[in-house]
Structure 1
Amino acid sequence: MELRIFTEPQQGASYDQLLAVARLAEDAGYGAFFRSDHYMMMGDADGLPGPTDAWVTLAGLARDTSRIRLGTLMTAATFRLPGPLAIAVAQVDRMSGGRVEFGIGSGWFETEHTAYGIPFPPLRERFDRLEEQLAIITGLWDTPVGHTFDFSGKYYQLSDSPALPKPAQSPRPPVLLGGHGAKRTPQLTARYADEFNVPFAGVDDTRTRFERVRAACAEGSRDPGSLRLSNALVLCCGRTDEEVNRRAAAIGREPDELRANGLAGSPAEIVEKIGRYAEVGTERVYLQVLDLDDLAHIELVAAEVAPQL
């Protein structure tokens, strides 16, 4: 079981705060540092100093870290055209020496689209666009050097693209898909993804979604075992109840609710719950860390949870 750190900078974070978390995660032995790709805060957060772009952030971290893997849960397909996005991700992969992982989704948060002038099509169209983007981005990366790439879709058309630059990783960076969709998400995962992520779901719900994506792999003649399975879960760990309560209050949540819906409690409680996810197939957990100034929280899990997994 691998533990990764997952941050939500739209709730309020500077680059220096994100860098401090990423460097600590690297030094503490976490597998990766991931961030969301959002332009608006959610809930009661003030969002200060304001949103930061996911791939600009990761470009900086690519040069300011040396070992930890870097990625997004999830880049919104509505935010960027597929050609420039393929260029940006490939460039960051090269800047990092081949440490990038590419999570992409259809986009869902309408408020951030209207706030920053980004078109927000209906759900079906967003999935259609996501499918074309996956075909284009992976196609550009997979095209041999010296050859060109063409694509003729409903929403995007490419002609005689040199399909450059290439990522550092060969054949390409890992692609992550995820979510709660019952039909198209498993189908796209089976066709394009290296990893399937279930965000903020209980063990039973996770089992159901893993079964759906395994079935989609089998229907597409893909070995389900070739797909890595993961969860994203909010973290609230403490050595004592008082410490758990303090950390829950800092992120505006109730300890009992976090115990039910996330990874909350003592290190032993968290180890036990991660074990239940492992029983249904989870191989990797993204720990959603919401208080980015509480670096001791990250150190605690590295010291007292990770060694027991």
Structure 2
Amino acid sequence: MDVIVENLTKSFENQKAVDSISFQAKRGEILGFLGPNGAGKTTTMKIMAGLLTPDFGNITFGDYSIGKQTGKIKNIIGYLPERNPLYNEMNVIDFLFFISKLHNIPKYKITSRVLDMIRLCGLDNDKHKQIGELSKGFRQRVGIAQALIHDPEVVILDEPTTGLDPNQIFGIRKIIKEIGEEKTVILSSHILSEIETTCDQVMIMSNGKIVANGTTSELRRKSDAEYCLKVGIKGGETSDIHKALDNLPGVLHIEIIHKQNFELQCKPDIEIEKSIFSLCQDNNWYISELTPVQTRLEDIFRKVTQNG
């Protein structure tokens, strides 16, 4: 099910938490919200989950509009808030049976749904344990299981890996990718690597606005006002090579990485590689490395949120 957000706006005490944002999330795709604290990610997700009413704008889930069919929409959404809503005194399987009844899942389906979620979320060895005894990683698994128990078409996960160790993050990421093959998944994170490795589409928010969106490769292309290149040249003095590279047309900045290895920032519309080849030929130097440096998502994030 596709989700379309149009001109969504929400203010608290005259402060805009979400400022007229529009975007689309598609079925079978994982959309990642990325942004610093206070960017508006959680507010947007709460509105999508039907927990907050927007001041302006609309969200459609397939044929349903959040302004007119909120009740129906809540039945097709699975939501995991940042603070996982669990009952620590219940054991895992009893909790999932309880959540199933809250969602009015038919009695004959409940057992199979609960067992499916226990399998999907890797909870089989812990299903009879009290939730309060579980590690944070396994409590997150239980949280995801409760969000999926009613087989929603859209899954909204707010900071699902916060506070987890690398092994726990890997486990949660695997679950998210599996459900993302069939459902529309929207998740938020302030962990850059998490968004980059998990999401098909990335949306960067700052001060309630969308400041960048697209695939990670699209974001790199949009942000590349400069072209970065690693260059290794041997056969001459480092100072002579440095000076000669710095004098090439279009070179904006040069940095010595190690001995005769350099990193060049250049204008994107010049054939810098051709100039480097000619330079080495003229001076009887030889090239040991010539590698483009891919812009990191971290650099893009810093660039588009630096005024936030």
Pair member with larger Rg: 2
Task: Name whichever structure is richer in strand by fraction.
Answer: 2
Q: TM-score range by the shorter chain?
A: under 0.3
Q: Please, what TM-score do these two structures have when normalized by structure 2?
A: 0.26
Whose RCO is larger (CA < 8 A, sep 6+)? 2
Task: Name whichever structure is richer in helix by fraction.
Answer: 1
Q: Please, what TM-score do these two structures have when normalized by structure 1?
A: 0.26
